Amino acid sequence: MRVVSWNVNGLRACARKGFLRFLEDSEADVVGIQEVRAFEHQLEPAVRAPLGWQATFSPAERAGYSGVAIYSRETPTRVETGLDEPRFDAEGRLAIARFGRLSVASVYFPKGSGRDRDNRRVPYKLDFYAALFDRLQALRRRGPVLVVGDYNTAREPIDLARPAANTKTSGFLPEERAELTRWIDAGWVDTFRARHPGEAGHYTWWRQWGGAREKNVGWRIDYVLASPAAARRVEDAFIWPHVNGSDHCPVGVDLSW
């Protein structure tokens, strides 16, 4: 079983750059996407309901903003799309699909930077992390859980190309890193880092200017975190920097199931 995650930075734009081809070429069973930035009715029929796939969308209330989705080969046995807290659910940041005992959550964690790059959204970001943590801690008691998505946080200096220059930048603030570390300390497994300990240069997001991607000056902020029961099933964890179409690249895991 293969589960893949990708922040597409606008599904309509990504579709014009080959999203449907990626969907097939990925050989995935479940694909979580973030930053859909469209209502379902705004998507082309082939993107909204690709042949051979089931799709679940969780849009933001605001047009052209945020939104997540899950594409799956099988129909989920249950779907949830919120935390029952309006200030979070209005932004369309969560979709959870259950496939028998396995749950897959596609999550677009908030950025901490405001429009003026002043880190004013950090408290909101940390509150979202905490609310989702409580929800997932309860969910993992029912069976294996994978939490895939754009976490908007690089946890360790190895996870970004220029850590010293970003200590006051949202995404690498001490309080953001500490919150993600709290998840790891609670037993959630960073599947890629567990299989590639100490390996630098693996990033999932690059700025769209200055040749950042070509120079590999990036951040690893997209993860597949696994509950202990799910982590035992992980056979491989990967990053696909060769896949274009967004300023992020896909990440994923292969599971024995």
Contacts 24+ apart (CB under 8 A), 114-118: none
Token digits of residue 154: 């690089």
Rounded Cα distance, 110 and 125, in Å: 5
Average pLDDT rounded to a whole number, residues 211-226: 98
Active site (annotated) includes residue 236:
no
Cα distance between residue 129 and residue 112, in whole Å: 11
Report the 10 Å Cβ neighbour count for 87.
11
Give the structural domain span for 114. 2-255
Task: Answer whether 114's CB lies under 8 Å from 186's CB.
Answer: no
Q: What is the pLDDT of residues 30-56, one digit of tens each?
A: 999 999 999 999 999 999 999 999 999
Q: In total, how many domains does the chain have? A: 1
| pLDDT value for 248 | 98
Instruction: Please state, rounded to an integer, the average pLDDT across all residues of the chain.
Output: 97
Catalytic position from the list 84, 89, 134, 150: 150
The stretch 142-160 carries a mean pLDDT of: 98
Query: What gap in Å lies between CA 225 and CA 153, rounded to an integer?
Result: 13
d(CA 61, CA 34): 15
- The pLDDT value given to residue 118: 85
Mean pLDDT, residues 186-202: 97
Task: Give me the CATH number covering residue 152.
Answer: 3.60.10.10
